[in-house]
Structure 1
Amino acid sequence: MLRLDTDLLKERAAAKGDMTHEEIARRAGIDRSTVTRLFAGTVPSLVNTTALAWAYEIALDDLVPKANAPAGIKVEVSA
């Protein structure tokens, strides 16, 4: 199942002074409860993932690493 790299997100959020789910949600423009669910392991939507990536200047590939892809799913990157 796809998961966010919450360690990376926490690190980038802390660098901007955002230490709580409320602060992360406010900067990304999403609900606090959504942030809480994402940190608990809920599968992220593209909209929420993109909002977090833009808010903290994280590449989508870094925020949702390929190592977290579901078994049996082939992930390819074309140049």
Structure 2
Amino acid sequence: MLRLDIDLLKQRAASKGDTTHEEIAARAGIDRSVVTRAFSGSVPSLANTTALAWAYDIALDDLVPKAEPKVEVPA
């Protein structure tokens, strides 16, 4: 499942002094609601994800890590 590494984003934002969704959105040049939804589990568009990554100098591969496939163990 596609997801953002919100912990990494929060860490990088805090290191730049950005602690609110509004500050994060302003630095990335995106709408605050995008950040709020991302922190709630939604995955933003590629353009918004890229804006967040660039704003905090995060590689896209790190911000959107590859999901490990679920392995089902037979009962």
Same fold (TM over 0.5): yes
Give the structure-2-normalised TM-score: 0.87
**Structure 2 portions without partners, runs of 5+:** 71-75
Distance across 2 between alignment mates of 1:31 and 1:21: 9
**Structure 1 portions without partners, runs of 5+:** 72-79
Distance across 2 between alignment mates of 1:3 and 1:44: 9
1:7-65 Cα distance to aligned partner (Å, 9 max, x none): 00000000000000000000000000110001101122100110000000000000000
| Displacement over 2 Å in runs of 4+ | none
Q: Which has the larger radius of gyration?
A: 2
Count residues in correspondence: 70
User: What SS does the corresponding residue of 1:66 show, helix, strand or coil?
Assistant: coil
Which residue is 1:30 aligned to? 30
